[in-house]
Amino acid sequence: MELTIGCTTRPYSAWSFAEACNHIAVAGFTDVGFVPVRADSTAEEITATRKTAAEAGLAPSMVIGKTQLGLGLEAAVDDYKRLIDNAAEVGAKWLLDCGTSRDKSETYFELMRGVSIHAEKAGVGLTLKPHGGITLTIDDLIDAFDKVSHPAFGICYDPGNIIYYTKGELHPAPDIDRIAPIVTTGIIKDCLVTDSVPDVMVTPGEGLVDFEKVLGGLIEGSFRGPLYVECVAGKKLDEINKNVKSSRKFIGDILAKL
């Protein structure tokens, strides 16, 4: 199975966006995620960001966003619509969101319902990842999908975070068949748990995630969306580059067998 495999800028958070793009391109990726675009980004900033990705030969296909619920619902909706517009302007197809705390769930879902039509018109898919709070478990993710109930809104499956935020109590492979049909994007992230302390700064394949089962289950459930490497081990640039490149091969080899 051939799927788009991108890489986020997170492994290169200590370097500039331009440097991150260059390293990601050298590692053989076609897409970059976590593109630095905000609701208040200027037209000049967006143009420069798009140009930087293009010069490296990458598609800036995923922006990571955040709701500003503290502004009040109406202002938060307007802010998120500006983020959607800016994501579209930079060339992103996906806007990744991390949800919110459980006490803000009603406002969050109302906001998402309020911006989904705008996202659809802009050609940007909203994709929600497990990140604790209202997205702690598979059941939470399915509940979120049902409550927003719009074609522009789907789930980003992050297997490492299922382990991380439950401190190893839950794993991402069981019940993958239940979540797969609503997953639109995927994160390649592993996780280790030592003495009840989780760690996601792990190179994929070296932690607790069974990527063959996770990816196999997603594909069996009709997933055809892009995948993005988010975390690898290493602090020095040469270590990070090596692990980013090996992660692409690791996932590519699994997909080739599916």
Residue 248 tokens, joined: 């692409």
Flag whether pLDDT at 173 surpasses 90: yes
Residue 1: what pLDDT?
85
Label residue 178 exposed, middle or buried (CB < 10 Å: 0-12, 13-18, 19+).
Answer: middle
Angstrom distance (rounded) from CA 23 to CA 31? 12
207 neighbors 171 (Cβ within 8 angstroms): no
DSSP designation for 135: B
Angstrom distance (rounded) from CA 130 to CA 42? 30
Q: Quickly count: other Cβ atoms within 10 Å of residue 200's Cβ.
A: 21
pLDDT tens digits for range 111-128: 999 999 999 999 999 999
The structure tokens 């609701």 sit at 39
165 neighbors 136 (Cβ within 8 angstroms): yes
Residue 95 tokens, joined: 């806007």
Q: Which residues pair with 198 in a beta bridge?
A: 193
DSSP designation for 224: -
61 neighbors 92 (Cβ within 8 angstroms): yes
**3-state class (DSSP) for residue 34:** strand
The chain-wide mean pLDDT, for the chain, equals 98
Residue % of the chain over a pLDDT of 90: 99
Q: Which stretch of DSSP H or E encloses residue 89?
A: helix 73-90
pLDDT tens digits for range 54-85: 999 999 999 999 999 999 999 999 999 999 99
Say what the pTM is.
Answer: 0.97
Residue 219 tokens, joined: 């594909």
**Phi then psi dihedrals of residue 195, to 5 deg:** 50, 45
Q: Which domains does the chain have, with CATH numbers?
A: 5-257 (3.20.20.150)
100 neighbors 134 (Cβ within 8 angstroms): yes
211 neighbors 205 (Cβ within 8 angstroms): yes
Q: Which stretch of DSSP H or E encloses residue 198?
A: strand 197-199
pLDDT band, very low/low/confident/very high, at 209 (cuts 50, 70, 90): very high
